[in-house]
Structure 1
Amino acid sequence: MRISGATALVSMAATAMFTGMTAVHGATAEPGVKVLTSENFKDVINQKFVLVEFYAPWCGHCQNLEPEYEAAAKLLRKDEDIQLAKVDCVAEKEICKSYDVGSYPTLKVFREGVSRDYKGNRKSDGIISYLRKHAAPPVTVLTAETLPAFAESENVVVVAVLPANDPQREEVDKTARYFRDDFIFGVVEEHPDVKAPAVVLYKKFDEGKNILEGEITDAKLVNFVRNHCLPTVDEIGMTNYAHYMDASVPLVYLFYGNTAQRNQLKQAYEALAKEWKGKANFVYLDALKYGAHAANIGLKEVWPAFAVQDVQTAKKFPLEQNTEPITEKRMRQHLSDVLTGLQKSKVKSESIPKSNDGPVTVVVGHTYDEIVHNKDKDVLIEYYAPWCGFCKRLAPTYDELGALYKGSN
């Protein structure tokens, strides 16, 4: 692929140019920051809780992070279960390659050898807050006295009702770790509304709480939380976008250009949301802030606009933008057609080339599945940008390779 080739060329050039500059990002560890090499990497990441920075000495963003990272490490030195560490990806290429580090700095949290991406901010106080929260037990043990305040403490709170030492508590721990960046979890032996085993999801919107009764497994609990953690209708933005993308049901958008447009369709749209609750998620999108997102789902920047996105397959189903106004009837019919499979998705595509006899076959959106997923041929595809200098340099070689294999399988 052209992008891969470009990345390789950049990496080789950077390595040759900056190998001798490790001092730029401290060749020795700052107080509290452990330097990782191939000799000690596995031993360190298998500790209880480690934040690892994968960096390159020449990287400006890494240099900007360094004082914040150092300050956090100094303040966390007394936290015995938390360690900050760093890997020089120029000197330790194989380590960084094994974790698919593609940009610098990359931060990953390791808990007894298992990694996940760091999702906190990159200021020292944010790093400290994030690490202390994640190093603590994922589930808070509650009593009848502490339950009410805990249930009201955040927008969404999940409480399992289980006897002490019940093995299902391990399943709750797994789910709590999965949602650690998003929600808080507690466990209590007795609950005034339900009998064990059960889970109560408290929320400060819609019906106020949802209950899951019966055997608790990680998979069942993850699905329960995903299905009930979002309002029937909400305003979508940076803080909740990921929740909608992780959901198991389609996402319905109503784009609006001003408050009057939103209010005009509000009653009809929210009636649809209640009718289809559980089968789709519904959001408002402020086009003045995020109007550019319309192009991602096949819409023109004309408001109001209505669309459905299958977040599992990434297929988009925009309601046709014509002179006919958006009404409850049109929205309901379109949504029904999408959910029953009657509506075809919209594919963003250039025109299919009239002639495609060159050494390298040109693929566009309308022909992608037919060509790339052809079961009778092995396909090497290059994703490129016309303005990319590395892509232009690769083009003659790629054409030669195409000519060599043209007509083969």
Structure 2
Amino acid sequence: MRFPTLLASASSVFFASLVLADGASDVVDLSGSNFKSVVNAEPLILVEFFAPWCGHCKALAPHYEEAATALKDKNIKLAKVDCVDHADLCQEHGVQGYPTLKVFRSGQPTDYTGPRKADGIISYMVKQSLPAVSEVTASNLEEFKHADKLVVVAYVASSTDAPAPQFSATAEKHRDDYLFGLSTDKAAIEAAGVTPPTIVVYRDFDEPQITYPYPIVSADVEEIEKWIKELSIPVFDEVNAENYMIYAQNGKPLAYLFIDPTDSKKDEHLNPVREIALQHKGHINFVWIDAVKFGDHAKALNLVDTKWPAFVIQDLEKQLKFPFDQSKDATPEAIKAWVDAFVAGDLQPQLKSQPIPESQDEAVFTLVGKQFDEVVFDDSKDVFVEFYASWCGHCKRLKPTWDTLGERYNDVKDRLVIAKMEAPENDLPPSVPFRIGGFPTLKFKPAGSRDFIDYDGDRSLESLVAFVEEHAKNSLEPKTAQENETIPRFVDQHHDHDEL
């Protein structure tokens, strides 16, 4: 029975909330004046960037407090930054949503990718405090080689010899991504059949063992991590929620084969695509995906019909989609030709867009993908756009304020456009230098410019108005009645005639 554990957990969270109510806290408050002095001095510290109005932040607070208290005895500190009071500090650290958590090691940040409950935070930070590199000996070599999907082992005569320091630095940077080991044991080196110094990657997919192919003594962190990243991606594998981030972080174009896993001809569809993937290894990543389970993802990639197999290439950096025409059969020959055309730059992305509204009756302009360039890149106008999702709670709370902002500037809509765009239903064109990573996202484009300014302030009407007043290039004063009058007068100085 798990009742005692659950009760203990609930009690600890309740206790933490009482502690917060009393004003006592084991979470360190950070500001611009003490951030560096506190964070840089700690070998390991977790920092939460939050906003007081954020519901997710409020839900996290008691768990964060409980974890801070538990980790205090292990000399691991937790800290927080109020992004309303210290907006510049949060912007400096690239905070785009709340809460954002970052792990700092002697001042160097990495993203926190762990759970948001107390026990999960505690477990994650304890693991972070352990060495990033495990000691490998002859007794544990075989077990260690198969301990994870990808394992990296450096074999060196001494832990101070190159590339051991660079290898350890790489391990610190990627401790959440891969399993790292280091061996100076002669018996282990002999059993591995290698000549030190060298680095070997062991995998449970594709080629199972790969030795570092470049000059090892001069290898630096960037070179080592680039090599490991390339090897971490199979030639052709199933993609799902567990491994998608490997592809997303890699950044290369991603080619999907959507397939029904129950199809009796599944292997007949997969095997030829593997051969195509081999030809483009290092330039395009290839995956297959369960079309039944992830049908919504197919629609997001502009595959609108439930016809499988289906094929699409996604430019992850620009978020552009190149779906193969579903009215045709996605044969291996057709897929190969589609990939070749993509590589040659002969394909045009397919942009999703809602229909252009027949009329614009609201103060806030409803923007769709087909009109983006025309409206946003109109040099004569300042444009302030909210990118939202219909299911987003934060967007729903912002709507009345955003509508009021539109009404405030309704009389100058010929110079300032307050707009909204439903991002999941409208793709951004290639001309746009950014992609949407969260909702709502607010972007301001000044008149006469193609640069966008991020809005990172709070979502009060007063703050939004102040932001517009600061960045608008056009006058925001309504025209007087006399200025609005436009009476054409055509006067011929040599002949009398009636005015038009």
The reply to whether TM is greater than 0.5 is yes
Report the equivalent of 1:83.
77
- Verify the 8 A CA contact 1:349 1:364 in the aligned structure 2: yes
Task: Return the offset for 1:300.
Answer: 0.7
Report the equivalent of 2:103.
109
Query: Scaled by the length of structure 1, what TM-score is found?
Result: 0.79
Opposite residue 231 of structure 1, the aligned amino acid is: P
Report the equivalent of 2:223.
220
Decide which of 256, 278, 283 is 1:279's aligned counterpart: 283
TM-aligned CA distance change 1:42 to 1:332, over 3 Å: same
Report the equivalent of 1:12.
none
SS at match of 2:414: helix
State the aligned residue count: 382
Decide which of 381, 386, 392 is 1:383's aligned counterpart: 386
Matches within 5 A, 1:282-301: 282-301=286-305
Gaps of 5+ in 1: 1-21
TM-aligned CA distance change 1:64 to 1:355, over 3 Å: closer
Report the equivalent of 1:16.
none
Decide which of 117, 122, 125 is 2:116's aligned counterpart: 122
SS at match of 1:76: helix
SS at match of 1:245: helix
Task: Return the offset for 1:396.
Answer: 3.7
Task: Return the offset for 1:268.
Answer: 2.7
Could you list the per-position Cα deviations for residues 257-282 of structure 1 after superposition, in whole angstroms to 9, with x for gaps in the alignment?
Answer: 45116445233333333443333222
Decide which of 404, 416, 430 is 1:393's aligned counterpart: 404
- Verify the 8 A CA contact 1:24 1:58 in the aligned structure 2: no
Matches within 5 A, 1:138-157: 138-157=132-151
Task: Return the offset for 1:310.
Answer: 2.1
Decide which of 157, 165, 168 is 1:170's aligned counterpart: 165
- Verify the 8 A CA contact 2:39 2:107 in the aligned structure 1: yes
Could you list the per-position Cα deviations for residues 304-342 of structure 1 after superposition, in whole angstroms to 9, with x for gaps in the alignment?
Answer: 1111112233221111010x3221111111112112222
TM-aligned CA distance change 1:352 to 1:92, over 3 Å: closer
Instruction: Name the structure, 1 or 2, with higher relative contact order (CA <8 Å, separation 6+).
Output: 1
TM-aligned CA distance change 1:28 to 1:112, over 3 Å: farther
- Verify the 8 A CA contact 1:247 1:311 in the aligned structure 2: no
What do you get for the CA RMSD once the two structures are aligned? Answer: 3.6
Report the equivalent of 1:338.
342
- Verify the 8 A CA contact 1:141 1:186 in the aligned structure 2: yes
Q: Does 2:247 match 1:241? A: no
Task: Return the offset for 1:119.
Answer: 0.7
**Identity over aligned pairs, percent:** 35
Task: Return the offset for 1:56.
Answer: 4.4
- Higher mean C-alpha displacement, 159-168 vs 239-248: 159-168
- Verify the 8 A CA contact 2:56 2:98 in the aligned structure 1: yes
Query: Scaled by the length of structure 2, what TM-score is found?
Result: 0.66
SS at match of 1:125: helix
Report the equivalent of 1:131.
125
Q: Does 2:43 match 1:48? A: yes
Opposite residue 146 of structure 2, the aligned amino acid is: E
Q: Distance in 2 between matches of 1:145 and 1:267?
A: 39
Q: Distance in 1 between matches of 2:154 and 2:269?
A: 39
SS at match of 1:383: strand
- Verify the 8 A CA contact 2:382 2:416 in the aligned structure 1: no
TM-aligned CA distance change 1:382 to 1:57, over 3 Å: closer
Report the equivalent of 1:185.
180
Q: Does 2:273 match 1:269? A: yes
Task: Return the offset for 1:100.
Answer: 4.8
Q: Distance in 2 between matches of 1:57 and 1:360?
A: 28
Decide which of 327, 333, 337 is 1:329's aligned counterpart: 333
Q: Distance in 2 between matches of 1:401 and 1:134?
A: 54
Q: Distance in 2 between matches of 1:381 and 1:299?
A: 31
- Verify the 8 A CA contact 1:256 1:287 in the aligned structure 2: yes
SS at match of 2:345: coil
Task: Return the offset for 1:205.
Answer: 1.4
- Verify the 8 A CA contact 1:353 1:362 in the aligned structure 2: yes
TM-aligned CA distance change 1:390 to 1:281, over 3 Å: same
Task: Return the offset for 1:198.
Answer: 2.8
Q: Distance in 1 between matches of 2:19 and 2:303?
A: 47
SS at match of 1:309: strand
- Higher mean C-alpha displacement, 342-351 vs 90-99: 90-99
SS at match of 1:326: coil
